[in-house]
Amino acid sequence: MRDFLVFDLETQRSAQEVGGWDHIADMKLSVGVVYDSRDQRFYTYFEGDLIDLIAHLKSGPLVIGYNHLRFDYLVLAGYAPLEEREEAMAEYLALDNLDLLVDIKDRIGKRIKLDDLVRPTLGAAKSADGLTALQWYQEYLEGQTERLGMIADYCKQDVEVSRDLYLHGLKHKRVNYLDRDRGLIELAVDWGHNLAPEDETQLPLF
């Protein structure tokens, strides 16, 4: 099995706070977590560690995420000067990426929540959600310093279940998901190589 990273991040601001989903680059990083299969460790990065986070992502192996091509990377690109954001984003998209959300959407024609995959496939569940993480960040700014650690734990758990989902699909070549109309569905997958679609790099970014 090839080496890989699994990556996720949480933001400081919601879409509403930055003027809508067209402004993801303005949401800013609160916490990022990377799992590295080379040493089987989880690495936690805060906003002040941004350079180290980016270096880790560029360190070589396949980068796996769930909507990281169209969300997480946009958040990171937002730290570049405005005139350099397109170039920064192009560098992230040029990495060896596997976006599980993109691959699933290509197979079934719609987006589904990570939780609707991990519950029926792994018997696991997310410990919180993005809105809760945003609330925790506001409470952190108000002086509840332990909230930042709670965000880190939540982000790590998201990375962990994404890793386990990937490994399950890699081994069994199938995952399960919950369809609102049809119930439990078994879906064939092929995650043995890079499946990020080429046209992702051609979409307008900013």
Q: Which CATH number fits domain 4-196: 3.30.70.3450, 3.40.50.10150, 3.30.230.10, 3.30.420.10?
A: 3.30.420.10
Percent of the chain with pLDDT over 90: 84
Extended beta strands in 72-173, E state: 97-99
- State the DSSP H helix or E strand holding residue 8, giving kind and residue range, or none if neither: strand 4-11
| Per-domain residue ranges of the chain | 4-196
- Tokens representing 132 are 């809760």
- Statement: residue 202 has pLDDT above 50: no
- pLDDT tens-digit map of 27-38: 999 999 999 999
How many residues in the chain? Answer: 206
> At residue 60, does pLDDT exceed 60?
yes
Contacts for 186 with CB less than 8 Å, ≥ 6 apart: 174, 175, 176
E strands, the chain, in order: 4-11, 29-36, 41-46, 62-65, 97-99, 174-179, 183-188
User: What distance lies between CA 58 and its chain's CA centroid?
Assistant: 15
Over the stretch 117-135, which tens digit does the pLDDT of each residue have?
999 999 977 666 788 999 9
pLDDT of residue 30: 98
- Here the tokens at position 126 are 């997310």
Q: Is the pLDDT of residue 196 over 80?
A: no
pLDDT of residue 195: 45
Q: Tokens 């960040």: give the residue.
A: 137
pLDDT for position 181: 86
Q: What span, in angstroms and rounded, lies between the C-alpha atoms of 20 and 65?
A: 22
What integer pLDDT is reported at residue 74 of this predicted model? Answer: 99
DSSP 8-state code for residue 181: T
First to last CA, the chain: 36
204: how many CB neighbours lie within 10 A of its CB?
6
Mean pLDDT of the residues in the chain: 92
Higher-confidence residue of 182 and 73: namely 73
CA nearest to 75, candidates 45, 32, 116: 32
